[in-house]
Homo-oligomer: A and B are copies of this chain.
Amino acid sequence: MTIEMFEKPLGMRDDFPVIAKQKANLRNQGTELIEQAGYELLQTPTLEYYETIGRISAISDDALFKLLDSQGKTLVLRPDMTSPIARVAASKLLREKMPIRLGYYSNVFRAQKREGGRPAEFEQMGVELIGDDSLYADAEVISLAWDILKQVGVGSARIVVGHTRLLELILADFGLDSEQSSKVRELFVAKNGVGVEQLSRELPISSNKLASFLALMQATTVADWKQWINDENEEQIKLYHDMERLEELFKRNGLGDAITFDISFSSHMTYYTGLVFECYGAGSGFPLGSGGRYDGLMEQFGLQVGATGFGLRVDRLLESVSPEKIEEPQTLILFDEQSEQRAFEKAQQMRASGKRVTLQYAPAVQALEPFTDLFTEVIRGEALDNG
């Protein structure tokens, strides 16, 4: 046998009680906010057909865990929650209730090729708002993501907002064809400024516009975006006004300082079609989550409606939340044959008042001292007898 008994598959982790507890707290706080905002929580199965969810997902094929079922069909472990929720939302039961607000807290899976500390299974918490094409829907999901970041205690939380469609229109105005545009956006995703500068020399951009093109990566407010808006393009004007309105809403609601409007911001998630965003916080070098508008995905399920949403990664949220050292009081009551009944009654009484109480038959403990050291309070049955 080449596998040791204690080994786990690549990228798989045990959540020991301290972590499991912290996650449960995040889950409770996050899902409560999600429900209060009118979202219904649901749970989809771990396994889905590759033909439906696997193909549609924005996750690359080699990161999917695949297996065959007893009928020879290919299954996948769900790589994200957006496509399964789209499947559910498009079902008969829900499609007539648009706009639909659905939320989730679920584990998702990404196959890893080698050791590198990247998890192959992690939890996401998020929402999808389906069937509302207004900018208010986008504002709602960003505000909700923000509320969760604040509620769970993420330090230095920030949100970066971009707009896939507006960027596409602006790049076209610089004279780029779709292939050139897509190369530029790849470098934007990688935040590769040097690469953009190098590439710009090969692009058909007139020299008097070069400085303006290179400035795309510097924008931080909606006012900054104004310089690229084509006054003769109605779609650009409409989208720009939407962004102004959005910035106004965020400022009014107290998010103003925490939001960067970066017109060059792009996502590697290819299904986004409109507003896109990513969340950051202290303590994690990676985005804590991301979201945006995806108006094409629902079509795959036969629905001509837009949708917007976000997903936060629970493992990264944990890194970003200052770990409160909660010394949780935990009582041990040690008993023997004689004191059993009183010990039991004492435990019942303490638990009824909300305390955590471990009842332990003392003779069954091999090493009493290390065991009792695990508790904040130790009560001996004999003491209860005398009491």
Contact = CB atoms under 8 A, between A and B. Distances in A.
Contacts of A200: none
Interface in A149-195: none
Contacts of A43: 14-15, 20, 23
Given A20-B41, A111-B70, A364 B136 contact: yes
Contact of A48 (B9, B66, B98, B367): B9
A70 to B, nearest CB: 5
Nearest to A132: B364
A251 interface: no
Contacts of A77: 46-47
Interface in A8-60: 8-10, 12-17, 20-21, 23-24, 31, 35-38, 40-49, 51-52
Nearest to A358: B38
Contacts of A97: 370-371, 374
A363 interface: yes
B46 A341 contact: no
A49 B8 contact: yes
A10 B366 contact: no
B300 A38 contact: no
A125 interface: no
Contacts of A112: 70
Nearest to A300: B5
Nearest to A62: B70
B42 A356 contact: no
Nearest to A101: B358
Interface-central residue, A5, A36, A351, by most chain B CB under 10 Å: A5
A282 to B, nearest CB: 26
Contacts of A42: 14-17, 20
Interface stretch (A83-91, A207-215, A287-295): A83-91
Given A5-B302, A36-B356, A75-B9, A361 B67 contact: no
A243 interface: no
Given A140-B359, A357-B38, A374-B97, A7 B46 contact: no
A340 interface: yes
A326 interface: no
A303 to B, nearest CB: 11
Contact of A3 (B73, B99, B107, B364): B73
Contacts of A98: 365-367, 371
Contacts of A9: 45, 47-49, 69, 73, 75
A139 to B, nearest CB: 9
A113 B360 contact: no
Interface in A339-355: 340-341, 344, 351, 354-355
A46 B109 contact: yes
A301 interface: yes
B51 A3 contact: yes
A17 B364 CA distance: 45
Contacts of A5: 52, 87, 90, 300-302
Contacts of A35: 356
Nearest to A38: B358
Interface of A: 1-10, 12-17, 20-21, 23-24, 31, 35-38, 40-49, 51-52, 65-67, 69-71, 73, 75, 77, 87-88, 90-91, 93, 96-99, 101-102, 107, 109, 111-114, 120-121, 131-134, 136-137, 140, 249, 252-253, 300-302, 330, 332, 340-341, 344, 351, 354-361, 363-367, 370-371, 374
> Top 7 closest A-B pairs, CB basis?
A38-B358, A12-B45, A17-B40, A67-B67, A136-B361, A15-B43, A134-B364
